[in-house]
Amino acid sequence: MPSPNAESTAFRSALEVIRAVEPRVADAITAELTDQRESLKLIASENYASPATLLAMGNWFSDKYAEGTVGRRFYAGCQNVDTVEALAAEHAKELFGATHAYVQPHSGIDANLVAFWAVLADRVEVPALRKAQVRQVNDLTEEDWFTLRRELGNQRMLGMSLDAGGHLTHGFRPNISGKMFDQRSYGTDPVTGLIDYDKVAEAAREFKPMILVAGYSAYPRKVNFRIMREIADSVGATFMVDMAHFAGLVAGKVFTGDFDPVPHAHIVTTTTHKSLRGPRGGMVLCGPELADQVDRGCPMVLGGPLPHVMAAKAVALAEARRPDFAGYAQRIVDNAQALAEGLLSRGATLVTGGTDNHLVLIDVSGYGLTGRQAEQALLDSGIVTNRNSVPQDRNGAWYTSGIRIGTPALTTRGLGVAEMDATAELIHTVLSQTTTGSNADGTASKAKYVLDPALADKVSRQATDLLSAFPLYPSVDLA
């Protein structure tokens, strides 16, 4: 264990060095810590990395180019990079029970791109890319390239629709994946909001995708990956799971059996932050049949690996292998369910009527608001959330009708079930007292809202008081 003052000394010293060069950056870093300490952070995709993880990113590894993989670099002098990358991969494989781990992706989007291109390279039948041959880009003839370009543009992907909780990177036009693939979506049952696996199977039989994607950013329930793999197998599709949001619940063995994607998917992608509580970054897990293609992520779609972030991933993954992480993961779900119950008891409408995981999706149309109005009103009141579409959302992806909230960050701070009910009360108070504002022409606005500043200030103070018993980074004193 570090000495009581080691972490404070480390961060104070770092800020002192930064301040000597650009004091405004040091001030912004300090202000961010203050804001995070005083706000109820309920964004489902955010968390608090440990001081060790944060400190692992601020070092000389940032100065190294390291294209290639462990033991096969295009730059000399990467022996120490090899050490931290190998450690991160080793921890990931042990943590998730995976055969192969690729820890270079800079983000979840990058991890998904690596996975997509690995599957395409494995599946597309081009003479120089057939399984019986060594597949190297330099082996491709002009005819091969012509065939490859034609074939890559005709492949199909089936993934979860955005309004049902899917992600942009699962084949939607604003993302490059929507330009790479001919994409179709599966949704959820219009009454229950749950995945209808029979409908997914029907869509797969009709569409015949090369890749079937499971995973979500705003679906508050478990997914049965065994059934999804059976659907993929029935149409000859590669089954990919994006577990970016719930990776911590998999690592903590809250999701097991049919609900653990790693034994069922051909390839799994994730971020390393969110519920996994590591640095911002991505990762790909797969079996040996895709490992070679995945390891070509750089330079296939990635820029040079970030060794300092891989070092932080190794630290965070080592932390996740400790016995206490399983308890943390379970508390995330317990808190989310308590938060859901607290909102339901106050009359809120929740998509699917509750949650099985780390997030809750509130349909704020029941309060007469759009997601954009609700998001800002809550922010004014010291509660940080994000607006999100709900199934069959009438307000579209910009204004939305939903608010997505999650419990990983507050659980890291130590808040429990009792505090979740208090949090539900604060959220309900703000939303029930916020009304729709008017545009200049007198019509109802989807963005403007009316909230008594005194009420917003009162709730903000109550939020700060609630958090006072659960200090953020108590070992870090910058005063």
Single out the residue of 372, 424, 368, 376 nearest to residue 398, CA to CA: 372
The catalytic position among 156, 184, 280, 448 is 280
**Kind of pairing, strands 156-160 and 100-102?**
unpaired
Helix (H, G, I), strand (E, B) or coil at 440: coil
The catalytic position among 7, 110, 163, 242 is 242
CA dihedral of residues 87, 91, 94, 99 (deg, nearest 10): -60
Our answer to whether residue 65 is catalytic in this structure is yes
The residue type of 363 is D
Our answer to whether residue 12 is catalytic in this structure is no
Helix (H, G, I), strand (E, B) or coil at 1: coil
CA distances from 19 to 10, 25, 35, 479 (A): 14, 7, 19, 15
Q: DSSP assignment, residue 155?
A: -
Our answer to whether residue 375 is catalytic in this structure is no
Our answer to whether residue 274 is catalytic in this structure is yes
Residue 108 and residue 423: Cα distance in Å, rounded? 29
The catalytic position among 274, 372, 413, 446 is 274
The catalytic position among 38, 67, 182, 289 is 67
Residue 473 and residue 109: Cα distance in Å, rounded? 29
Residue 419 and residue 191: Cα distance in Å, rounded? 31
The catalytic position among 65, 156, 292, 334 is 65
Our answer to whether residue 75 is catalytic in this structure is no
- Containing H/E element for 241? strand 238-242
Our answer to whether residue 199 is catalytic in this structure is no
Residue 187 and residue 177: Cα distance in Å, rounded? 18
Please list the active-site residues. 65, 67, 242, 271, 274, 280
